[in-house]
Structure 1
């Protein structure tokens, strides 16, 4: 039994298809099938029920897969130990970032990181929070940047910064004359929201709920980007909330429509998330240090109220 064979088993268990698993492992389907058959013969059991479509794990196969995940992780840890001992920071690193953070944070740190750690090959994916959690647990991501806390038992979170919510109020709105506003000034019926699946959307709804504002299903419109929400607000279709870093790139005319909240300002907690196995921890630490260095000057808020990103029914 080899590590490679176990990796093939894990691939079939995930994709439930021998051909697709072989493609993902960059081997031919007969090679993959033969290696899995060797394990089954060695153990005198069937890992997969091939009579079902898609292919399913047998009861003993599920137990083997659970153990195989641990073995593959521990094998990767040996490589990690050697690289840390050598002080090597390099290799492939898969990073997921949620859509409401990617456009503002990535340009702030990516160039600095690449210059400082040229041996690291960053593979970056824009994913929603649910996708990130699944990929981290399945070993398809090394780390991610998302809004927290997520309360996931197998994942570790290191806070990078706190980012306040900022209200975007068009000039002709009834509260446009106010300076700093309170959450109670908001009317959920006219708040323009991101589409379902965005944790920033859930954060806004949770903010309203925690302040006694009925959220129901009465909001007018949802969109996939902050730019669209801003344009819709300017057309008189409502108001919206933006993450603080996003407001830094607005033109001067639009910045005049921004209203900060009174303290403690509602804010989201942005963290670096990774499995508790802490594989590739030297690269994770390098990322954390780099990001902390660039956001220190941009995010200066301390007196904040953290709003949960979890979708509360």
Structure 2
């Protein structure tokens, strides 16, 4: 058994096909297939159901992937744990909900990189439900997500920010009553596949607020652009880290009792790089304190 083969097995599970896994680990499709055959021969188990056009992991294969993640994670932290640098080198995998990718996440990662230049953060955007699953199975080390219900028992979390919902409208739209604007204008719905969209939709229904939805979009940037074009109003979170050049939209607070998003950093309790994750959390809190995304001058190397 080799660490390289275990990494390839994990890549196949994460990317679903041998071809995509080959790209991820920088080998050929044939090399991936060969490595998987060698693992099956060595372990005397069937990792893949090859009766399908695309080989699928068997139940045994999926269970072994979980163990492989533990082994690879332990291998990656052997030297840092001995040298005492707590793993502030190499790569750490961070998931993030898309709405944090243009403000909170880049600002926090920049702060982190300034402190630990040998630490490389790989970002994986996804929705909260998928991120919880990825953290739980060890596909990512931690994830910035919307906390809306209890997390799995093996997961820990550290809250980042509380983002109240607000109504956004074109700057020249008359009126400042959010409920009246909702009643009299087309409504651009935040995708209900996202936790934010589900929170908003539940509040509208429970409050008896009727809207005339004309679009349902995932991206906050796309929604804001449609609103700026005068195509309707929407309800979105008031982001804890604002864009450097935000669109000139009218933003109105919703009535008392309206929902808010709780951004949190989630991770497995048994992750060996908890010290690094705690530093990520500190960097996220620093970004929230700054409150606006802006360029941070990179540190200059001293002249020799």
- TM-score for the superposition, normalised by structure 2: 0.74
Partner in structure 2 of residue 80 of structure 1: 77
- Tell me if the contact between 2:93 and 2:141 (Cα under 8 Å) persists in the aligned partners: yes
Aligned CA-pair RMSD: 3.8
Distance in 2 of aligned mates of 1:90 and 1:252:
35
Deviations 1:64-84 (A, max 9, x none): 440342243144235436524
Is 1:293 paired with 2:286? yes
Per the alignment, do residues 134 and 31 of structure 1 end up closer, same or farther by CA in structure 2, a change over 3 Å counting? same
Q: Name the structure 1 match of 2:202.
A: 206
Residue 305 of structure 1 corresponds to none
Question: Paired residues, what number?
Answer: 289
Instruction: Return 5+ residue gaps in structure 1 as ranges.
Output: 300-313
Are 2:145 and 1:146 aligned? yes
- Where do 5+ consecutive residues of structure 2 fail to align? 293-304
After superposition, the C-alpha distances for 1:115-163 in whole angstroms (9 at most, x for unaligned) are 1121111222333334434543454422221211354425433211101
Once the two structures are superposed, the pairs formed by residues 232-251 of structure 1 within 5 Å of their partners are 232-233=226-227, 236-245=230-239, 248=242
Structure 1 residues 243, 43: closer, same or farther in 2, change over 3 A? Answer: closer
Alignment of 1:123-162 (within 5 A): 123-137=122-136, 139-149=138-148, 151-153=150-152, 155-162=155-162
Instruction: Measure, in 2, the Cα distance between the counterparts of 1:114 and 1:14.
Output: 26
- Residue in 1 aligned with 2:254? 261
Deviates more, 1:235-244 or 1:286-295: 235-244
CA distance 1:67–1:225, shift in 2 (3 Å): closer
Pairwise CA distance, 1:211: 2.5
Counterpart for residue 121 of structure 1: 120
Q: How does 1:208-223 map to 2 (within 5 A)?
A: 208-214=204-210, 218-223=212-217
- In 2: Cα distance, 1:247 partner to 1:122 partner: 19
CA contact (8 A) 2:227 2:233 kept: yes
Task: Report the 3-state secondary structure (helix = DSSP H, G, I; strand = E; otherwise coil) of the residue aligned with 2:103.
Answer: helix
CA change 1:278–1:212 in 2 (3 A) is farther
Structure 1 CA distance for aligned equivalents of residues 148 and 169 of structure 2? 29
Supply the distance in 2 between the matched residues of 1:64 and 1:247 (Cα, whole angstroms).
42
1:74-113 alignment to 2 at 5 Å? 74-77=71-74, 79-80=76-77, 82-84=79-81, 86-88=84-86, 89-113=88-112
TM-score relative to the length of structure 1? 0.73
